[in-house]
Amino acid sequence: MLICVPDVLSKADVADFRRIMDGCPWEDGRSTAGAQSAMVKKNEQLPPDSEAARRLGNRIISALTGNPRFISAAVPKQIFPPLFNRYAASNGHHFGIHVDNAVRGDHLTGQRIRTDLSVTLFLSEPEEYDGGELIIEDFYGSHEIKLPAGHLVLYPASSLHMVTPVTRGMRVASFFWLQSMIRDAHARSLIFDLDTAIQALVERLGRDDPETVKLTGIYHNLIRYWAEL
């Protein structure tokens, strides 16, 4: 399941993020890569333990917890502290094909999560750079993702994926992972489809419609059946 979530951050928020990030030191992006990923990763990132990275990451998590589409698609149990990277054409930055680590640990908090889903939140407008597409491979082929600033894409962390070389300008993004309460990807997809259909019915019929109420009950019972707390 590959889900795009628009307008997680406003344009004003994105501008403020970029202003703060432009005043920060950056480091080699391989510092947080696994052994296989480090061989194909060439970019820069904000030091994960820096005050700026933590403060901006907390702002992203606050925005996500108030976003109905994100909550519906992810059913999050734990969200890893967001990280931030940039790909500059002048440095030939790219990230070759790889799979994310199955488990991520944050040494500051002691948090460890199973990475069910990966998230990329774009902080550059598409016209700011050439290249830099996020390519995600799944059972249906390869998907090329390049979203407006403030939008994010949510996809299985088990997917092979890459970032193509940036050939002009700079690509800036936040990336992170989450553990879902619904571990099974197929069950999570069914729950998202059901919730999406219910919300469409609510728009047409209202929350008090008997069939809408019944479907809402089925939705919550499925969550109750599949959820891992």
Q: Exposed, middle or buried by CB within 10 Å (0-12, 13-18, 19+), for 86?
A: buried
Q: pLDDT-based confidence at 75, cuts 50/70/90? A: very high
Pick from 68, 163, 80, 69: nearest CA to 117: 80
Read off the pTM: 0.94
pLDDT at 33 over 80: no
Tokens 């480091």 belong to residue: 27
Tens digit of pLDDT for each residue in 82-108? Answer: 999 999 999 999 999 999 999 999 988
Give the domain ranges of the chain: 3-180, 185-226
Q: pLDDT-based confidence at 32, cuts 50/70/90? A: confident
SS3 221: helix
Residues 4 and 153 sit within 8 Å (Cβ to Cβ): yes
Residues 146 and 132 sit within 8 Å (Cβ to Cβ): yes
The tokens describing 190, both together, are: 């069914």
Tens digit of pLDDT for each residue in 208-223? Answer: 999 999 999 999 999 9
How far apart (Å, rounded) are the C-alpha atoms in residues 203 and 70?
19
How far apart (Å, rounded) are the C-alpha atoms in residues 180 and 60?
17
Residues 181 and 30 sit within 8 Å (Cβ to Cβ): no
Residues 80 and 105 sit within 8 Å (Cβ to Cβ): no
How far apart (Å, rounded) are the C-alpha atoms in residues 159 and 205?
38
Report pLDDT for 43: 96
Output the CA–CA distances (angstroms, integers) from residue 48 to 29, 37, 51, 58, 119, in the order listed.
Answer: 10, 17, 9, 12, 16
Q: pLDDT-based confidence at 47, cuts 50/70/90? A: very high
Tens digit of pLDDT for each residue in 149-191? Answer: 999 999 999 999 999 999 999 999 999 999 999 999 999 999 9
Q: What does DSSP assign to residue 167? A: E
Q: What percent of the chain has pLDDT over 90?
A: 89
SS3 211: helix
How far apart (Å, rounded) are the C-alpha atoms in residues 68 and 70?
6
pLDDT at 1 over 90: no
Give the class (CATH, top level) of 3-180.
mainly beta
Tens digit of pLDDT for each residue in 115-148? Answer: 999 999 999 999 999 999 999 998 889 999 999 9
Sequential DSSP letters for 32-96:
G--HHHHTTEE-EE--TTSHHHHHHHHHHHHHHHT-HHHHHHH-EEEEPPPEEEEEEGGGT-EEE
**Average pLDDT, stretch 53-76?**
97
pLDDT at 110 over 90: no
